[in-house]
Structure 1
Amino acid sequence: MNRKTFLKNLTATAAGVNLLFPKKFYGQSTGVVSSETKTRPSGSKRAIVLGGGLSGLYSAYLLKQTGYDVTVIERGDSFGGRISTYTNPNLGIVQDLGGEWIGENQTDIKSLVKQLGLELVSANVSERFSLSKANADQHKISSGSIDTLDKVIDLHKSLGSNQKQGLDKINFASYARYQGLTEEEIRSMNELYRVILGADLNQISSESVLDDLSALQSALKPKYLVNGGAGQIIQSLVNQLKNQELLLGETATKVSQQKNQVSVELSSGRTIKGNLIVCTLPTAAVLDIKWTPTLPKDLIYSALRMQTGKISKNICFVKSNSNLSNFFQTTNTAAETFYVSDLAIGQNITAVTSISTGDRASLFEKGSDRQKKNLMSSALEEIGILDLVSENPFHFHSFQKSTGRSGFVSLFPPGSYGIKDVWNEPFERVFFAGEHLALHTGSMDSAVASAIQAVSKT
């Protein structure tokens, strides 16, 4: 069954039994849920989902809608993966510390948000990421270079596979130099897109970047936020799965397949059996599992080639003032970039978010609280206009602690053209999904799209 037919059939089924999220669900951004093990009929269809992020939870929801009993296995102590939202109702502050922005043409995540009864609001910083002549001065990129970028982006849409493979051999920064952009202009683009990609443009294939810039669904074209935070998507999906088995703090150590049955051994010693698996784990985590039969060599090679950008988002609480509206500033410090979302502006206190990437992100992921406070204080001194609150002025978040992975957005270095294609086909009774496997990666939309693609093949 192809993706389009699958969605059509699912919608018809859901409409007939009133299952498509009949009411709005409000809750905190993340939560710990562990459903009781249900007694199931011996003839029921059973599916196992590895990973409790957005892709995993949505895969589980789709499987449930198609008649499966589902077990979701998540190694962390909460669901959501790379989605996490800080909320403080008393202060009137909401700020996403993981997946945050949604593009105008990211139809899969927009559809899901609508089905969940949630609302999208315009992201006040979205125009910052638009490479246009109107923003030329702001980005320190000349009008001529904007024209050049527009031409190569438009040209990319008509390139064949061989030409794309040629572009894939060099990084984007080198390609931009070849097209005549100055070092300052390349540095400006780096500062702009590092906060979304989590890596320097010297590390990423020019084909990968141009593919993103030319795609309507690109993560590089943010437009909206989820009103109340992206964590509400996770809470709502968990709520829809409340009669399924959702396991936290469990790690899959071994996966075995025999004809129409699969079994997953957990770190706790428990074994779970089912008819199929949807694996939404990052490729590095896939390699941590012992597989019987062993993973095909092309999957192993692809997993070893994929990389992940590092992003660390943290919050500084400051006294609200009129200068914080549309605030966005890049620094040369470990905190790197500061910005303020409209949803993070309270009456008296505002949450200013810092985004650190690459090695700077590692400082916040691995540092002690004292070290992180010193790094943030030093960064704020450079800005000079923020008035920190006196009590608990910082909130630090670590994806290393919550997911076990320091990465954030999947990256494709030079020489990686086509390496994710091998995951499109199932490995016997195992189907793969995740942000890293979608046609256009790096967004919540890609996580949802990959889940649809995987489940439609089951």
Structure 2
Amino acid sequence: MNRKTFLKNLTLTAAGASLLFPKKYFGQSTGVVTAETKPRPTGGKRAIILGGGLAGLYSAYLLKQTGYDVTLVERGENFGGRIATYQNPELGIVQDLGGEWISENQTDIKSLVKQLGLELVNSNIADRFSLTKANQEYHKISSTSIDTLDKVIDLHKSLGANQKQGLDKINFSSYARYQGLSEEEIQSMNDLYRIILGGDLNQISSESVLDDLSALQSALKPKYQVKGGAFQIIQSLVSQLKGQELLTGETAIKVSQQKNQVTVELQSGRTVKGNLVVCTLPTSALLDIKWTPTLPKDLIYSALRMQTGKISKNLCFVKSNANLSNFFQNTTTAAETLYVSDFAMGSNITALTSISTGDKASLFEKGTDRQKKNLMVSALEEVGNFELISENPFHFHSFQKSTGRPGFVSLFPPGSYGIKDVWNDPFERVFFAGEHLALHTGSMDSAVASAIQAISKT
């Protein structure tokens, strides 16, 4: 079944089910979700999902709609993967700590948001990522260089595979330098896109960056955010999976395939059996699992080649003032960029969000509370005279602790052209999904699109 036919059939099924979706949630500060666990019924179609992030939950939802009983296995204590939202109704503050932005043409995630009864609103900082002449006040790139970028992005759409492989051999910073951009202009682009990619443009293939910039679904063209926080998507999907078996704190250690059955052994000693598996784990996590039969060599090679950018979002709470509206500023400190979204502005208190990437993100992931507080204070001192609130002025979030993985979004270094294509076909009864495997990676739309693609092949 192809993707188009699958979506059409699913739409008819969902319409007949008369699904109801809750509209608003206020939970823990990072969106803790619990799930009802019930004994598995005997007989019928049964599926196992590895990974409880957006791709895993949406895969489970799609399979449930097509008649499967689902067991979902998540190693962390909460669902959501790299999506988390800080909510404080008393202060009137909502701020995403993981996936945050959605582009105009990311139709899969936009359709899901609408279906769940949620609402998209314009992001107040999204324009800063648009490299157009109208937005030159936000970056340091000349009109001539913008024209050059527009030309090479447009040219990229007509390139063949051999030409793309050639571009893939060099990083984007080197390619931009070859096209005549100055060091200051390249740094300006890097300051913008590391916030979304979690990696330096010196590390990323020029083919990968140009492919994203030329794509309508690109993560590099943010426009919207989910009103009330992106974690509402996770909560809504979990609510639709009641009656299915959703496990947290469990890790798959072995996957064995027989002719019409897959057996997954968990670290707790439990065994789960199903007709198929949808694996949404990062490729590095797949190498920690014992596979019978063994993973094919091309999948192992691809997993070893893929990289992930590191992003750490943290909050500092300051007394509100007029200067905080649309605030966005880069710093030379470990808290690299500070910004304020509209929903993070309360009447008296505002949450400034810091985004750190790469090695600087590791300082926040691994540092003590005292060290992290000092890093945040240094950033505040550099950008202005903000008055921290006296009680609990910081909120630190760690995806390392919640997911067990330090990475955030997939990165494709020079020499990685085509390495994710090998995951398109199933490995016997195991199907693969996840942000890192979508046609255009680095977004919530990528996770949703990959789930649709995987389930349409089951």
- Smaller-chain TM-score range? over 0.9
User: Is 1:104–2:104 an aligned residue pair?
Assistant: yes
CA distance in 2, matches of 1:39, 1:131: 52
The Cα offsets for residues 217-236 of structure 1, whole Å up to 9 and x where unpaired, read as 00000000100000000000
- Residue-by-residue CA offset, 1:169-228 (whole Å, 9 max, x unaligned): 000000000000000000111101110000100000000000010111000000001000
C-alpha distance in 2 between matches for 1:39 and 1:361: 41
Task: Report the count of equivalent residues.
Answer: 456
CA contact (8 A) 1:97 1:314 kept: yes
Question: Cα gap change, 1:260/1:25 in structure 2, threshold over 3 Å: closer, same or farther?
Answer: farther
- 1:323 and 1:392 map into 2 onto residues whose CA distance is 22
Deviation readout 1:254-273 (Å, 9 max, x if unpaired): 00000000011001000000
Which residue pairs with 1:422 in the alignment? 422
Secondary structure class of the residue paired with 1:60: helix
Aligned position for 2:160: 160
Tell me, yes or no, if structure 1 residue 31 matches structure 2 residue 32: yes
Cα deviation digits, residues 271-326 of structure 1 (max 9, x gap) = 00000000000000011100000000000000000000000000010001111111
Aligned: 1:312 with 2:323: no
> Are 2:33 and 2:235, in contact at CA under 8 Å, matched by a contact in 1?
no
* 1:79 matches 2:79: yes
**Contact 1:198–1:310 (CA<8 Å) still a contact in 2?**
yes
Amino acid at match of 1:372: K
**d(CA) in 1 for partners of 2:126, 2:438:** 23
In structure 2, the residue corresponding to 1:273 is in which secondary structure?
A: strand
Q: 1 CA distance for matches of 2:409 and 2:17?
A: 37
SS of corresponding position for 2:10:
helix
Supply the distance in 1 between the matched residues of 2:298 and 2:36 (Cα, whole angstroms).
36
Hey, what does 1:209 align to over in structure 2?
209
Deviation, 1:39, is: 4.2
Spell out the pairing of 1:238-317 with structure 2 (5 A cutoff).
Answer: 238-317=238-317
Partner of 1:351: 351
Q: Deviations over 1:313-342 (max 9, x none)?
A: 000100011111110000000000000000
Amino acid at match of 2:378: S
Cα distance, 1:34 vs structure 2: 3.7
**CA pair 322-203 structure 1, distance change in 2 beyond 3 A:** same
In 1, Cα distance between equivalents of 2:384 and 2:445? 37
Question: Partner residue of 2:400?
Answer: 400
Aligned residue type for 2:185:
E
Letter paired with 1:24: K
Q: For residue 123 of structure 1, what is the aligned residue in structure 2? A: 123
Distance in 2, matches of 1:365 and 1:395, equals 13
Classify 1:158/1:39 alpha carbon distance in 2 versus 1 (closer, same or farther; 3 Å): closer
Q: After superposition, give the CA deviation of every residue in 1:84-108 in whole Å (9 maximum; x if it has no partner).
A: 0000000000000000000000000
Contact 1:312 1:398 in 2 (8 A): yes
User: Following TM superposition, by how much is the alpha carbon of 1:23 offset from its aligned partner in structure 2, in angstroms?
Assistant: 5.1
Per the alignment, do residues 113 and 323 of structure 1 end up closer, same or farther by CA in structure 2, a change over 3 Å counting? Answer: same
- TM-score w.r.t. structure 2 length? 0.98
Letter of the 2:380 partner, please give it. L
Gaps of 5+ in 1: none
| Counterparts in 2 of 1:367 and 1:45: CA distance versus 1, 3 Å | same
Corresponding residue for 2:447?
Answer: 447
Distance (whole Å) between structure 1 residues aligned to residue 248 and residue 40 of structure 2: 19
CA contact (8 A) 2:22 2:236 kept: no
Q: TM-score, normalised by structure 1?
A: 0.98
Determine whether 1:374 maps to 2:352: no
Q: Alpha-carbon deviation of 1:386?
A: 1.6
**Structure 2 counterpart of 1:342, one-letter code:** D
**Identity in percent:** 82
For 1:330 and 1:17, locate their aligned partners in 2 and report how far apart those are by CA, in whole Å. 48
User: Is contact 2:40-2:245 (8 Å) kept?
Assistant: no
The residue type paired with residue 313 of structure 1 is K
Residue of structure 1 in register with 2:8 after alignment: 8
Instruction: List aligned pairs for 1:141-152, cutoff 5 A.
Output: 141-152=141-152
Q: Could you say what the CA RMSD is over the residues aligned between the two structures, in angstroms?
A: 0.9
Q: Deviations over 1:73-124 (max 9, x none)?
A: 0000100000000000000000000000000000000000000000001000
Alpha carbons 1:26, 1:236 under 8 Å: kept: no
Which whole-Å deviations, capped at 9, do the CAs of 1:151-182 have from their partners, x for residues lacking one?
Answer: 00000011111110100000000000000000
Inter-CA distance 143–23: structure 2 relative to 1 (3 Å threshold)? same
* Aligned-pair CA distance for 1:452: 0.3
Contact 2:26–2:87 (CA<8 Å) still a contact in 1? no
Counterpart residue identity of residue 107, structure 2:
T
Structure 1 residues 142, 162: CA separation in 2 closer, same or farther (over 3 Å shift)? same
Distance in 2 (alpha carbons) for counterparts of 1:8 and 1:436: 25
- The Cα shift of 1:137 comes to 3.9
Deviation at 1:14, TM superposition (A): 1.4
